[in-house]
Amino acid sequence: MNSSAHSPTASAAQALAAATPAVISVSPTSGSTAGGTTVTVTGTGFTGATAVRFGATQAPSFTVVSDTQITATTPLGTGTVQVTVTTPIGTSNQFVTYTYVTTPAPVLSSVTPTSGPTAGGTTVTLTGTGFTGATAVRFGTTPASFVVNSATQITATAPAGSGTVQVTVTGPGGTSNGVPFTYTTAPVPTLTSVTPTSGPTAGGTAVTLTGTGFTGATAVHFGTTPASFVVNSATQITATAPAGSGTVQVTVTGPGGTSNGVPFTYTTAPVPTLTSVTPTSGPTAGGTAVTLTGTGFTGATAVRFGTTPASFVVNSATQITATAPAGSGTVQVTVTGPGGTSNGVPFTYTTAPVPTLTSVTPTSGPTAGGTTVTLTGTGLATASAVRFGATPAASFTVVSDTHITAVAPAGTGTVPVTVTTSGGTSNGISYTYSAAPILSGVSPTQGPTSGGNTVTLTGANLTGATAVTFGATPATSFTVVSPTQITAVVPAATAGPIGVTVTTPGGTSTLPSAYFYVSTPVLTGVAPPSGPLSGGNTVTLTGVHLIEATAVRFGTTAASAFTVVSDTQITAVVPAGAAGLTDVTVSTAGGTSNAASYTYLPAPVVTTLIPSQGPASGGITFTLTGTNLAQATTVLVGGAPAGFTVVSDSHIVVDTLPGAAGPVTVTVTTPGGTSAPKTYTRVGSPGI
């Protein structure tokens, strides 16, 4: 015997083991203790399942979807239980759980509106709590379609019904309290008027019906013939009269019944008559707008040029505007209406001449296109195309036989502009696409508020510039020097930064805050107001608008050095100068200030000292004689300051000081300098 062979008993055992059901997952994994939740059970070996249990309790119902899926309805239960599946082979033993949770019954607080027609269809908003997972909404015992908007709101559509019923919501936790909803009986519509009261037998008249109870209208009839209609409100309907004859009753049918009738009379339309067409001729390509004048045009159904239909608009009972179709020779124009076809009036097709172009304005624009260009020439009335090179214009409008306005498409380089009509294509006129300008710099970057100074703008693609502006103000003048440079005369403006813009046919380029208008400086004082001829002393200038100072001058001589302390103060080192008054000025990009006075003073000179000696005890005075003494600020006697009185530019009286006997030096100091020393001798008292 072959020992490796399987016995029948072993094979059956293996098959049984292979077919035992296995539960892998349940979804959802929890639900209401009230049961009723639909659960999807996933696993294997479900074919032929005889039971699904939640704990020890069988599911009240289940469906075997496939060998790997079952949908089951949960029974009542509590806590966490094991979900098992039983088949003829056996029961699953995987530990897959389902948890019962306590869900409160929904609470319904209001329904809006609280009433609606017996036919149903009213949209009702239900407000309350616990609506999540709602499984039913009922009006009385009748289910309604609904959408759960949130845990506190449901939108439902009322079913048909009658009387007052209780609206309820059913969810996993049970059924809510009821809130009343009343079904109302729709009134029978009443019809008070129709406007107009008559129309052609062909129908098509727009008729306004006025009355009451039109809401929910289901039909409008002219006699027994239904009409298309729109319910505008409960008191108005707009209907289109169908074809008919004689006088018929117009009625409205709604949920409450059919209204009374109001008469509408069908009138027989007269045969239209055509008296003139304007113009009486046009190109063979068609497209001419033709005005037809006559009578009986209301309800016109066709306009023909010969046998060819034309598009048209009925302006009134006596006028039609038609567009001539393509044709040739002389044809009869006719109008057909409900009453028949009119007499014919001749219209002649003419051969259009080849168009000619004489100019395009402007002759250039940006590569992005978008420029509106005026084309001038002849034979342009029937233009069917305008091209810039091989590219169609973005759009164009025929103004007259001699003018077209066209919007340039995007392009590059220089291209011919042409116009095509039924007569052919015109000659070309050159149009140049210009690259957009690029403005990269302005020099100098500052100037006076009065303007008038010249600046240099640098960049690219500046050729053909048509405008230079400082802010919104055009430059006083400008010159295009090269594709990369423009010189411009700055206009006047108020102080502060401003953008500079260059415009060319290729577009516009702006350099924000590229130029600064500087106010003219104002000087109010110089301190000290005088100093030596040799200069080198420091003075303080005060005023306003000094912050941008570029120069400080004493007369025509620049200060040896200066420091801008603030917008109101500058310290400057005075240069050498000639004796006398001189003007001090400050210059900025905003201009040169008013002049403030500064005096160059020569150094003082002492020629005599009288008396030249006196007691060492002091207490007397001596007189200094010389020149340039009027501005004396200090008199030193033996190096010590002495009291003094300036008598004149040539005399000073000095108070002597006590001191050791012997000679001492005497000097006088003014803003112009210090004098050469003179000798004064202190004499001691004679011995006793």
Residue 397 pLDDT > 50: yes
How far is Cα 148 from Cα 169, in angstroms, rounded to an integer?
11
Q: Above pLDDT 90, what percent of the chain?
A: 75
Sorted by sequence, the CB contacts under 8 Å of residue 445 that are 6+ apart come out as 514, 515, 516
Q: Which of 565, 446, 453, 444 is nearest to 496 (CA)?
A: 446
Residue 272 region, left (φ>0) first, then alpha (ψ -120 to 50), else beta?
beta
What is the Cβ-side half-sphere exposure of residue 93, based on CA atoms within 13 angstroms? 4
How far is Cα 276 from Cα 346, in angstroms, rounded to an integer?
9
Residue 462 pLDDT > 90: yes
Under 8 Å between Cβ of 561 and 521: no
Question: Which pLDDT score is estimated for 287?
Answer: 86
How far is Cα 229 from Cα 529, in angstroms, rounded to an integer?
100
How far is Cα 33 from Cα 80, in angstroms, rounded to an integer?
11
Bond prior to 677 in cis (omega within 30° of 0)? no
How far is Cα 589 from Cα 237, in angstroms, rounded to an integer?
78
Locus of tokens 């076809």: 341
What is the Cβ-side half-sphere exposure of residue 128, based on CA atoms within 13 angstroms? 29
Range among 57-61, 169-173, 269-273 rated most confident: 57-61
Question: Which pLDDT score is estimated for 12?
Answer: 37
The structure tokens listed for 683 are 């004499």
CATH numbers and ranges of domains, the chain: 8-101 (2.60.40.10), 107-184 (2.60.40.10), 190-267 (2.60.40.10), 273-350 (2.60.40.10), 356-427 (2.60.40.10), 438-518 (2.60.40.10), 522-601 (2.60.40.10), 605-683 (2.60.40.10)
How far is Cα 545 from Cα 565, in angstroms, rounded to an integer?
12
How far is Cα 24 from Cα 4, in angstroms, rounded to an integer?
35
Question: Which pLDDT score is estimated for 118?
Answer: 84
Residue 415 pLDDT > 60: yes
β-bridge mates for residue 608, sequence order: 625
Give the distance between the most distant pair of CA atoms in the chain: 173
How far is Cα 204 from Cα 201, in angstroms, rounded to an integer?
9
pLDDT band at 357 (very low <50, low <70, confident <90, very high): very high
Sequence letter at residue 256: G
Per-residue pLDDT tens digits for 305-350: 999 999 999 999 999 999 999 999 999 999 988 777 899 999 999 8
Under 8 Å between Cβ of 480 and 495: no
Tell me if residue 16 falls in helix, strand or coil: helix
CA Rg value for the chain? 55
Per-residue pLDDT tens digits for 546-574: 998 999 999 999 999 999 999 999 999 99
Question: Which pLDDT score is estimated for 3?
Answer: 32
Q: How far is CA 295 from the centre of its chain?
A: 52
How far is Cα 623 from Cα 631, in angstroms, rounded to an integer?
16
Count how many residues are written for the chain: 688
Under 8 Å between Cβ of 252 and 214: yes
Sequence letter at residue 83: V
Top pLDDT among 527 and 12 is at: 527
Bond prior to 611 in cis (omega within 30° of 0)? yes
Per-residue pLDDT tens digits for 149-206: 999 999 999 999 999 999 999 887 778 889 999 998 878 899 999 998 988 787 888 8
pLDDT band at 623 (very low <50, low <70, confident <90, very high): very high
Cα-based angle 285, 288, 291 (whole degrees, multiple of 5)? 150
User: How do beta strands 262-267 and 198-200 pair?
Assistant: parallel
Sequence letter at residue 198: S
Residue 464 region, left (φ>0) first, then alpha (ψ -120 to 50), else beta?
left
Q: Above pLDDT 70, what percent of the chain?
A: 97
Question: Which pLDDT score is estimated for 33?
Answer: 83
Locus of tokens 């530019």: 649
pLDDT band at 32 (very low <50, low <70, confident <90, very high): confident
DSSP H or E stretch at residue 686: none
Under 8 Å between Cβ of 309 and 301: no
How far is Cα 74 from Cα 95, in angstroms, rounded to an integer?
17
| Three-class HEC string of 105-174 | CCEEEEEECCEEECCCCCEEEEEEECCCCCCEEEECCEECEEEEEECCEEEEECCCCCCEEEEEEEECCE
Per-residue pLDDT tens digits for 227-264: 999 999 999 999 999 999 999 999 998 877 789 999 99
Residue 8: phi and psi, rounded to 5, are: -55, -40
Tell me if residue 475 falls in helix, strand or coil: coil
pLDDT band at 687 (very low <50, low <70, confident <90, very high): low
Tell me if residue 4 falls in helix, strand or coil: coil
Report field, pTM of the whole predicted structure over 0.75: no
User: For the stretch 170-194, what's the b/e string if a residue is b when 16 or more beta carbons lie within 10 angstroms of its beta carbon?
Assistant: bbbbeebebbebebeebebbebeeb
Question: Which pLDDT score is estimated for 133?
Answer: 86
Sorted by sequence, the CB contacts under 8 Å of residue 83 that are 6+ apart come out as 23, 26, 39, 41, 52, 53, 54, 96, 97, 98
Residue 142 pLDDT > 70: yes
- Sequential DSSP letters for 6-63: PPHHHHHHHHHHHHS-EEEEEESSEEETT---EEEEEEE--TT--EEEETTEEPSEEE
Number of Cβ within 10 Å of residue 252's Cβ equals 28
Computed over every residue of the chain, the mean pLDDT equals 91
